[in-house]
Amino acid sequence: MGLQQKGMHGTWASRWTFIMAATGSAVGLGNMWKFPYVAGNNGGGAFVLAYLACILLIGVPVMMAEVTIGRRGRQSPINSVRELVAESGANSAWRNLGWLGVLAGMLIISFYAVIAGWALDYIFAMASGELRGANGDAASAVFGNLLADPIRLIGWQTFFMILCVGVVVGGVKKGLGIAVEILMPLLFVMLFVLLGFSIFRGNFQAGWDFLFSFNLDALTGRGLLEAMGQAFFTLSIGMGAIMAYGAYMPQNANIGKTILTVAFFDSMVAIISGLVIFPIVFATPGLEPSAGPGLMFISLPVAFGSMPGGLLIGSAFFVLVTIAAWSSAISLLEPAVAWLIEAKNMTRVQANLLIAGGTWVLGLGSVFSFNIWSEATVAGFTFFDFLDFLTSNVMLPLSGLLIAIFVGYVMKEQFVDDEMQGTPPVVMQLWRFTLRYIAPIAISAVFVMGIYDKFFS
């Protein structure tokens, strides 16, 4: 029996359902704050162009490779890789590639659910008026009080995991498919509503200049490496999610065109998020854009709290953030759930409860990292910091590198050609060249930069 016939989880209703699902997986918290800030501090428009080039040269080719593995195998990443390794006559050590992605996804969702819980809390903090007229100190105190309360954090973490299980337990068509067909259009509608508010109530010109002023001198070698890293991480490569979603992709869908569409939507969300956030920040005296949680959970609440109608729009913004996190998180649960169904003959309910329960318990370590375990560090890492570093700086780059090498060198070319039918020969040649030479070098550079920044800079 050919691998393509072994799928047991079903397929997406259409190519567009896959596009929405993959876009939902790719769009996450990083689109909302990391990309805009990094772009604004690395030459604006020059960085954006470099980022888009890296998307085309690194992100899209590797994402295509990951989908190729998934669609050829038609199973969970673990079993798809295992069977492709066997049928390609490759060294059995390559089987670990499937495990690496699935494990990375489980580790990520354990702390991702905690951060998503912050966004859930802030929906109600904004709507209740708690942040009306708050200055920087007051907003910092609200955020600090949230992090210091483990019971509150666990409550929101639990609620978010229940939301994820409620989707994944429904399966490919009745759960994941229906969810992304609702969540992704809603995300884009809310994004454009917020953009309208930013245009009319924010300092749109200042935000535009911060994000798009073309300053080539500010784009250093380090900035180019950050563009490569952002391009790689933004598409959810190496987490098992895209491979699992690829297993449900209709056979007649063109992989290259489909992934280009996903990359376009993902990049559009990142750019529009910058045009939403920074005009609002610049319209509020005394605020400066800052990276990470400080931008989303301190600066923005101050800005929203000082604007007419800002509390309502602020609540909508954190609903948007929650939707982005939710659509990403369900894609991280699915690979491990699919494997348990295949390998252990579990029902979807059983598999979901086991995986979600395990990641929820692991997530308690991240919850406690912000309060009762905040002083407990190893080599400078709290539990949360360690998981973040391990996944972002080690496991994901390594997984992406191995995906590029596996499809570029190890997987039978006939398998690849079967999945890439309809792709012009010149495009195939360019794609293979990128997988074999450009992507491995670029991903290795991102990997080395991440290690160097943590331990040697």
For residue 28, the model assigns a pLDDT of 85
Q: How far apart are alpha carbons 417 and 413 in whole angstroms?
A: 6
Q: What angle do CA 210, 216, 222 make, to 5 degrees?
A: 90
Domain count for the chain, please give it.
1
- Predicted TM-score (pTM) of this structure: 0.93
Phi, psi of 220 (to 5 degrees): -85, 180
Q: Quote the domain boundaries for residue 153.
A: 3-455
Confidence band for 232, pLDDT divided at 50, 70 and 90 = confident
Check the CA dihedral 64-452-445-54 and report its sign. Answer: positive
Kindly report the CATH number assigned to the domain that includes residue 85: 1.20.1740
Task: Summarize pLDDT for 155-167 with one digit per residue, the tens.
Answer: 999 999 999 999 9
Please measure the distance between the N-terminal and C-terminal CA atoms of the chain and give it in whole angstroms. 53
Q: Is the dihedral of CA 143, 144, 147, 149 positive or negative?
A: negative
pLDDT tens for residues 61-105? 999 999 999 999 999 999 999 999 999 999 999 999 999 999 999
Contacting residues for 13 by C-beta, under 8 A, at least 6 apart: 173, 177
Spell out a b/e string for 124-135, using b for 16 or more CB atoms within 10 Å of the CB, else e: ebbbeebbeebe
Task: With CA atoms as reference, report the closest residue to 297 among 161, 449, 138.
Answer: 138
The rounded mean pLDDT for the chain is: 91
